Structure 1
Amino acid sequence: MPEVRLDLRQPHRQLVEVELHVRARPHPQRLRLPAWTPGSYLIRDYVRTLEDLHAEAEGRRLPLERTGVAEWLLDASRIRGPVTLRYRILATELTVRTCHLSAEHGFLALAGVVLLVEGERWSPHRLELWLPPGWQGFVPLPVDGQGGWQARDFDQLIDSPVEAGPHPEHAFEVQGVPHRWVSWGGDLPRHDPSWLSDVARLCHQCCLLMGEPAPAAPHYLFVLHQPLSGYGGLEHDDGCVLLYGRQDLERPEGRRRLLQLVAHEYLHQWNVRRLRPAELTPYDYDRPTIVPTLWFAEGITSYFDQLLPVAAGLVEEQQLLDDLGADLSRYLLTPGRHVQSLRASSQEAWVKLYRQDAHSPDCQVSYYLKGAVLALVLDLRLRRHGSWLGAVLQQLWRSHGRCRRGYREADLLEAFTGHDPDLATLLPQWLDGHQDPPLHEELAGVGLRLVSEASSQWGCGFKAAATAGSLTLQRVERDGPAQRAGLLVGDELLALAGRRLRSPEELAAALRATEPDAPSMPLLFCRDGRVRETLIDLEPPPLTVWRLELDPAATSEAHQGRRRWMHLQP
């Protein structure tokens, strides 16, 4: 049984000392460090943080041959006893999928820490932590009675996030299942006495959504990181890691947004972790795996994470409409939705979604965002046909999730068409097409409408920000006035129609002063140290926001349907 010992006793160095004890084999063994962690579909090349790997046995070093960027060949065929692998991991990056060690805490995403030893993937692994005085470790694994933890195999080990520090731990139960809440950067349950009871209600509501009497996990660990700013979450089989900035929590909508993040990651213990795409069964830790159904794995979860707090009685109906309206507005103002299909967004996650740049809004759409929009359309449509989206999710859980049988897109299509035969044709069109699903029509069925608002100034087709006393282009819209005028991201704006530009406020004033029938406007800008001039043809004020509102002409039947929908009632 491989044994992993992690030494965090010098946190100021931000280095994790790793010892991996393995048994010698009569043939050379390959060692590999995963390139990514499940739930975050980007090759992260964790090997960039690994230092000074060497192998020891019987008082001497053994040869290690590097056969790949993150792969080595260990020859211990002449060794009878155990072999010890030693190396260090640089822990300086605070996200939910990387490693961070400081004098205040330690967090380890074990996919970036533990080597996979050939022949040992499905063997039990033991984990032990060496910590500074006063610290304790928080790990969603069974304790082994010897001061450590034991995983049934390598997959369960690296699926278990490690948090360590002098943190308070809060225990509560959900339907008899033990849960723990651990925070770094603030003790939320102490400052918000109703927090744990609200989280328990929210977790119970997730169980109800899935048609289950209790959570899927036998025990569950919440880890919350609260730096000054930041946002993120990563799901695991028996826990999750949340990152939520203290500044965000202090905003009026902060607590509600955090509840939605909790709902999202908690629901993932069913949808994604156990009800898993077949392409991820088992995981290939070395290379990208194309998953065309990420729209279901993440989009469906993103859709329900806003409804679950309402159904649990923790969020008001109007607050849901505000939040949902903001997401729908963001979607409708994303031009990339007409370029990239939802299926393509899922398939290209590895190279696009997690690698955003100034041009991304024009050529792609998030499978989280459009997946949630499609989930909304599907839910409202199914309700008109006497079913609802929760029934489809429960059916797939029973057929594929409980037994951890991976599903493919054909399985999803079969499940949906069992509730609405027309979806056999419509759903593939919505997945492959570049047009919006019938969002406005389905919202009207529950007494809602989307109302647009236009800007108060002429459209210039770019976004600019003040940097070091100058106004620099951060985005140039595809086929917009700025692109037609030859402007590029990074250009420094100097003057518009003779008016000096140094800030967004001065730009807004210059645009407001433009006459409706004005000809092309002269624009002075600087690129690569050279001052240039162009003419820009402004457009009528563009749409800047969509708002979700109650339709005053809606029928009483539509109002009743809306209340059932908002509270997750079939």
Structure 2
Amino acid sequence: MNRWLTLFGALCASFWLTAVNAFAASDDDTPRPAMTVRVDASNTAQWIFQVHETIPAESGPLRLLYPRWLPGFHGPAGDVVQLAGLTVRVGGQRLLWTRAADELHGFDVQVPEGAHAIDVHYQWLGPTKGALSDSLQSRDALALTWPSLLLYPSNRPLAEMEVASRVKLPVGWSWGSALRASAVSTQGEGWVEFQTETLETLLDSPVYAGVNYRRVELDPPGTARPAALHLFRTRDGGTAPSDEQIDTHRRLLQQAEKLFGFRPWRHYDLLLADGKGFGHIALEHHESSENSYDGDYFADWAAASRSRDDLAHELTHAWNGKFRRPRGLEQLDLNSPTRNELLWVYEGLTQYWGQVLAVRSGLVTAEQMRHDLALTGARTADLPGRQWRDLQDTTNTPALASHGTQKWWDWTLGYDYYNDAALLIWLDADTLIRERSGGQRSLDDFARRFFNGQDGNRTPSVYGIDDVVAALNAVEPMDWRRFLRARLDHRMPTTTLDGLARSGWTVAFVDKRTPLQLASLNAKKPLFSMRYSAGVSVDAEGSVVGVNWASPAFSAGLAPDDKLLAVNGRAFTPERAEAALNDNRSGDKPLQLLIHRDDEFRTVALDVRTGPRHPVLQRVEGRPDVLAEIFKAR
């Protein structure tokens, strides 16, 4: 190539880059108007919300996106079919939009010359009650989640756009959120105006509202970065919390701060809904958490854990997942797929700390947590699907999952990176560090080192597996990469629960359910498990909920959704099924099960000689109770 042409091209390129950089600098220095969004959420009779947005825009093509890859879901959970009636206008002129061919959650519009903003209006059509298990919508309370309500422009990162938001709630309802009402907030007719936030922060700040509301401060007055509990219940009240139950939430915050050493927020708001008919929700945010229960959060406090450790789990995410984020899960927008290969840290380590903090604070008792660990341990120790699918691959589940239900859960596997990772990796790592250091160090030291930060610093810090390995090595030098990969890449149906054994406990089986096991049954949908004997689980009406792969029930041809009508010639009850298992220990009385599927009836014989088998944790003789030390409040 002619060197003069090369030089000329270089000069032109240099001039073009200089011009672009100058434009970018000028553009960055120019204040940009904020988006505005107004949501009328007062129609709770039909669950139709009216949404109006004003979005700054310049002339030319513009793509509006409806969020698809939602934070905390780790997959394409956004449902654009709930958006309807979309219109786009400029100064009263209606603009035509077309759905993007390469992104069905995208809408393309051509902004006319001279325009500086577009007005967007549509309806959000809430699902019919019961359609989603993770929805809070009732005559008494609602959860307003911004990712399901907003369209946003694709041409700017979420953190660079500011939004002024306003919500209309049913008259007389109170609300709670990490958002703060502005100084000019209007309360007339249910409208609440919030302070301007970045779009990233707004999307991460749900609003709970309801007729029966109580705010509880979790810190002394004057605390710099305070936390509060926002409690929503049904209008008839349900079970009111005791002072001691409220205090456990204060201790939860204290124990978390002692573990991590700082608060990565301006303020923190625990949104807790507990009432009959409320859907189950457990979702993390940076400055708030969402938890909803079906009226049993406070009512069954002494009887069973009732997933109360979910609250500790979501709080832990303020440090793990929000402040420190795995590489691949930092999101500049909500429509680009995430990479989930580190979910065993994001969710698995969070699950471990959630369980530990729940016991340290008193949200659950050590006995209740041991019951939960026994269920996880029994499942994890003998898992047929592990022979073809390793723990690492299950981190792809949320990106792969449809809205259907898995039928053969122990063969297909699923969200194992939660409980299995907590048990196989993080309890194992904690007990190993304690053993190797003679009890001088633990995973608590790793938490301080790995999540090192300053009070009030919300700027996310990205980590990879190298950072995890380095922090573990700094606490206790050894080949941690090999340790982690051996557990993540393991493909064998049986697994040794080394961490549990090192903690002084082992999974055993008893032939009669303990009082805690009976109390832990879901009162509304009790599940009778013969998983570790016949290999089948049924509900109170005999509907088959699950069949273990390669179990006696599987070999006999049973499948999920079959109906178990009778056992040994008598109508099915859990008690009769358990008695039949006991009667066949010698093998002379095989179980005769009458099964109904579609319009056919058939009798199936199961020669199961184990008797009933229900998992419990038992102490390992001669080993110290390290689990008790892990659970001890700091």
Give TM-score, length-normalised by structure 2: 0.78
Corresponding letter in the other structure for 1:378: A
Q: Matched residues in 2 for 1:319 and 1:511: separation?
A: 27
Change (3 A) 1:30 1:99: farther
Partner residue in 2 for 1:111? 147
Cα displacement (A) at 1:96: 10
Residues 476, 488 of structure 1: 8 Å contact kept: yes
Partner residue in 1 for 2:250? 200
Q: Secondary structure at the match of 2:208?
A: strand
Q: Matched residues in 1 for 2:468 and 2:547: separation?
A: 38
Partner residue in 1 for 2:599? 529
Cα displacement (A) at 1:242: 0.7
Residues 133, 281 of structure 2: 8 Å contact kept: no
**The one of 350, 353, 357 aligned to 1:308:** 357
Residues 443, 449 of structure 1: 8 Å contact kept: yes
Matched, 1:43 2:76: yes
Residues 382, 495 of structure 2: 8 Å contact kept: no
Q: Secondary structure at the match of 1:223?
A: strand
Partner residue in 1 for 2:38? 5
Query: What does the per-residue CA deviation read over 1:285-319, in whole Å, with 9 as the maximum and x for residues that have no partner?
Result: 22542311111111112112222244346665545
Q: Matched residues in 2 for 1:403 and 1:81: separation?
A: 31
Matched, 1:75 2:91: no
User: Taking every aligned residue pair, what percent have the same amino acid on both sides?
Assistant: 23
Change (3 A) 1:494 1:103: closer
Q: Matched residues in 1 for 2:607 and 2:472: separation?
A: 46
Corresponding letter in the other structure for 1:380: T
**The one of 435, 456, 462 aligned to 1:384:** 435
Change (3 A) 1:23 1:406: same
Q: In structure 1, list runs of 5 or more residues that go unmatched.
A: none
Partner residue in 1 for 2:465? 409
Partner residue in 2 for 1:160? 205
Within a 5 Å distance, the mapping from 1:119-158 to structure 2 comes to 119-120=155-156, 121=158, 122-147=160-185, 148-158=193-203
Matched, 1:484 2:546: no
Change (3 A) 1:533 1:57: same
Q: Secondary structure at the match of 2:219?
A: strand
Q: Secondary structure at the match of 2:486?
A: helix
Cα displacement (A) at 1:117: 1.5
Change (3 A) 1:126 1:99: farther
Matched, 1:89 2:149: no
Cα displacement (A) at 1:157: 1.2
Partner residue in 1 for 2:87? 54
Within a 5 Å distance, the mapping from 1:20-39 to structure 2 comes to 20-39=53-72
Q: Matched residues in 1 for 2:561 and 2:333: separation?
A: 39
Q: Matched residues in 1 for 2:47 and 2:429: separation?
A: 48
Q: Matched residues in 2 for 1:325 and 1:520: separation?
A: 28
Q: Matched residues in 1 for 2:360 and 2:140: separation?
A: 37
Cα displacement (A) at 1:267: 1.2
Q: Secondary structure at the match of 2:400?
A: coil
Change (3 A) 1:412 1:511: same
Query: What does the per-residue CA deviation read over 1:127-159, in whole Å, with 9 as the maximum and x for residues that have no partner?
Result: 111233323443312444332224542221111
Q: Matched residues in 2 for 1:476 and 1:308: separation?
A: 34
Q: In structure 2, list runs of 5 or more residues that go unmatched.
A: 1-33, 186-192, 514-529
Matched, 1:448 2:505: yes
Give TM-score, length-normalised by structure 1: 0.86
Cα displacement (A) at 1:65: 1.4
Corresponding letter in the other structure for 2:536: F
Change (3 A) 1:550 1:509: closer
Residues 178, 268 of structure 2: 8 Å contact kept: yes
Cα displacement (A) at 1:202: 1.4
Matched, 1:397 2:451: yes
Residues 39, 167 of structure 2: 8 Å contact kept: yes
Partner residue in 1 for 2:283? 234
Partner residue in 1 for 2:98? 65
Q: Secondary structure at the match of 1:134?
A: coil
Q: Secondary structure at the match of 1:546?
A: strand
Query: What does the per-residue CA deviation read over 1:235-291, in whole Å, with 9 as the maximum and x for residues that have no partner?
Result: 101101111221353124468556523221111100111111110112552254231
Q: Secondary structure at the match of 1:168?
A: strand
Change (3 A) 1:3 1:117: same
Partner residue in 1 for 2:52? 19
Aligned length: 557
Residues 35, 54 of structure 2: 8 Å contact kept: yes
Q: Matched residues in 2 for 1:40 and 1:180: separation?
A: 25
User: Which shifted more, 126-135 or 185-194?
Assistant: 185-194
Residues 27, 75 of structure 1: 8 Å contact kept: yes
Partner residue in 2 for 1:516? 586
Q: Matched residues in 1 for 2:558 and 2:466: separation?
A: 45
Residues 244, 258 of structure 1: 8 Å contact kept: no
User: Which shifted more, 14-23 or 244-253?
Assistant: 244-253
Q: Matched residues in 1 for 2:179 and 2:138: separation?
A: 23
Residues 128, 149 of structure 1: 8 Å contact kept: yes
Residues 91, 99 of structure 1: 8 Å contact kept: no
Change (3 A) 1:154 1:50: same
Q: Matched residues in 2 for 1:466 and 1:194: separation?
A: 34
Change (3 A) 1:337 1:284: farther
User: Which shifted more, 57-66 or 354-363?
Assistant: 354-363
Cα displacement (A) at 1:105: 3.1
Matched, 1:177 2:259: no
User: Which shifted more, 102-111 or 197-206?
Assistant: 102-111
Corresponding letter in the other structure for 1:184: F
Corresponding letter in the other structure for 2:466: A
Partner residue in 1 for 2:497? 439
